[in-house]
Amino acid sequence: MTSPPSSLQHTPLHGLHVVLGAKMAPFAGYDMPLHYAAGILGEHKHTRASASLFDVSHMGQARLYGDEAAAALERLVPGDIQALAKGRMRYSLLTSAAGGILDDLMITRMEDHFYVVYNAARKDVDERHITAHLLPAGCTLEVMADQALIALQGPAAAAALGRHAPGAPALSFLSAAYMAVAGAPAIVSRSGYTGEDGYEISLPAAMAQDVARALLGEPEVAAAGLGARDSLRLEAGLCLYGADIDETTSPIEAGLAWTIGKRRKIEGGFLGAEPIMAQLFDGPPRRRVGILPDGRAPARAHTPILDADGAPVGEVTSGGFSPTLGRPIAMGYVATDFATDGAPVGLEIRGRVRPGHIAPMPFVPHHYKR
């Protein structure tokens, strides 16, 4: 195994990845496992059938304190944070004044603070943005630099985790609680990024390898890398920041209007509310759609999407082969007039226009524990 560039950071589980023989690759400034011996296809299928353990410690984690933290957060995100009950979490978006998406993140109301998880590549941007806007409101952002984050995903996740954290199976989707996991104090949430039932576990970095080994010791659980995480989230129709959403895309274009709380649609009050609400009521110029290419050739990111006359109407943002469906799948943005399920499109793949059509997402049904 070649040594990674010295500039790459290591997660608390890096040593375990090396011992397990992972193929490592740079991602968001970290040396991360792409896959293990089973390969991306094997890890993907194992997650769908049983349970897989993913290292997501590269993600940003922070606690937000303050008596007015909920109201202050609502200046930055379009979600209804004030209505969020203790122990419940919500997917939301940091929006810019221009109505673009600065990042997507998970916000959980704990007993005396909000627990926030955000993307690795956006850590510095998010932390500066939140601090600049919320410190004047008397809030404090405490970055959890000494915490690891692991995800246990798949239909057998509850049974496997329940042997080490008896309270975990009782959690419902998008709920969280403090509990011990294999003896380590942790925040356990029933959530994830695969479309399957599962959990994310935040725990002290010093205890992460022992807990990961304990979970990997369960017969249902295998290690999985970023390759399977990406193919699973694509099948689930979930956005990847920097590919499917970024500062140039609005929540409405991205099909994320559901993240805007009903009260927030009426009251506004968040950064970018005016341009976002204009798109909500008048319609956006383009929309994120699912795409099914005909044949076996996958349409990768940046593949041009063409109309019947060969004129460009959009671009693929994520694409690849679906192990579950046994065929290529993709998502991307097209002009609103073409964003109709079943509409035929052309895909310019390796210099040749191949047929495909717009399709609903998710490509594979979600299996969350409601």
CATH of the domain at 321: 2.40.30.110
Q: Does residue 209 sit in the same domain as residue 325?
A: no
Mutual orientation of helices 39-49 and 226-235 as an angle, nearest 10°?
60
Element (H, E) at 356: strand 352-359
217 and 351 in a common domain: no
Domain assignment of residue 217, yes or no: yes
Last residue of a domain, one of 195, 220, 235: 235
Together in a domain, 355 and 212: no
102 sits in which H/E element? strand 101-109
| Same domain, yes or no: 52 and 159 | yes
Same domain for 350 and 204: no
- Number of structural domains (the chain) is 2
Distances (CA, A) of 356 to 254, 309, 312, 316, 317: 20, 14, 14, 12, 15
Half-sphere exposure of 44 (CA within 13 A, CB side): 22
Residue 189 placed within a domain? yes
Phi, psi torsion values for 135, nearest 5 degrees:
-60, -40
**Based on the domain organization, do 150 and 216 belong to the same domain?**
yes
Would you state the pLDDT for residue 208?
A: 98
How far from 85 is each of 62, 69, 205, CA to CA, in Å?
Answer: 19, 14, 28
- Give the domain CATH number at 29: 3.30.1360.120
> What's the rounded Cα separation, in Å, for the pair 287 and 334?
6
The answer as to whether 243 is a domain residue is no
Distance CA 295, CA 46 (A): 26
Q: Phi, psi at residue 232, to the nearest 5°?
A: -70, -45
Structural domain contains residue 251: no
Three-state DSSP state, 57: coil
Claim to verify: residue 222 and residue 350 sit in the same structural domain? no
Kindly report, residue by residue over 151-166, the tens digit of the pLDDT: 999 999 999 999 999 9
Domain boundary at 176, 204, 235, which?
235
Q: Are 161 and 152 in contact (CB under 8 A)?
A: yes
Q: What is the dihedral of CA 167, 168, 170, 171, to 10 degrees?
A: 130
Q: Which domain holds residue 338?
A: 285-359
Residue 117 forms part of a structural domain: no
**Smallest Cα–Cα separation from 233: which of 56, 28, 21, 88?**
56
Q: Which two three-digit tokens encode residue 168?
A: 């975990």
Q: Are residues 54 and 158 in the same domain?
A: yes
Q: Are residues 302 and 225 in the same domain?
A: no
- Residues 192 and 53 placed together within one structural domain of the fold: yes
313 and 195 in a common domain: no
What's the pTM? Answer: 0.96
Per DSSP, helices labelled H in 239-365 are: 262-267, 273-282
Q: Is residue 175 domain-shared with residue 309, that is, in the same domain?
A: no
* Residue 281 to residues 106, 139, 248, 270, 277, Cα–Cα distance (Å): 26, 33, 19, 17, 6
Total residue count of the chain as it appears in this document:
370
CA 124, 126, 132, 135 dihedral sign is negative
d(CA 109, CA 79): 13
Q: Is residue 132 part of a domain?
A: no
Please list the pLDDT of the chain residue by residue as tens digits (370 residues).
Answer: 444 556 899 999 999 999 999 999 999 999 999 999 999 999 999 999 999 999 999 999 999 999 999 999 999 999 999 999 999 999 999 999 999 999 999 999 999 999 999 999 999 999 999 999 998 888 999 999 999 999 999 999 999 999 999 999 999 999 999 999 999 999 999 999 999 999 999 999 999 999 999 999 999 999 999 999 999 999 999 999 999 999 999 999 999 999 999 999 999 999 999 999 999 999 999 999 999 999 999 999 999 999 999 999 999 999 999 999 999 999 999 999 999 999 999 999 999 999 999 999 999 999 999 8
Phi, psi of 39 (to 5 degrees): 80, 165
Whether residue 241 is contained in a domain is answered as: no
> How far apart, in whole angstroms, are the C-alpha atoms of residue 168 and residue 165?
6
Contacts of 357 (CB under 8 A, 6+ apart): 291, 292, 294, 342, 343, 344, 345
* Residue 109 domain-assigned (yes or no): no
Distance of CA 194 to the CA centre of its chain: 8
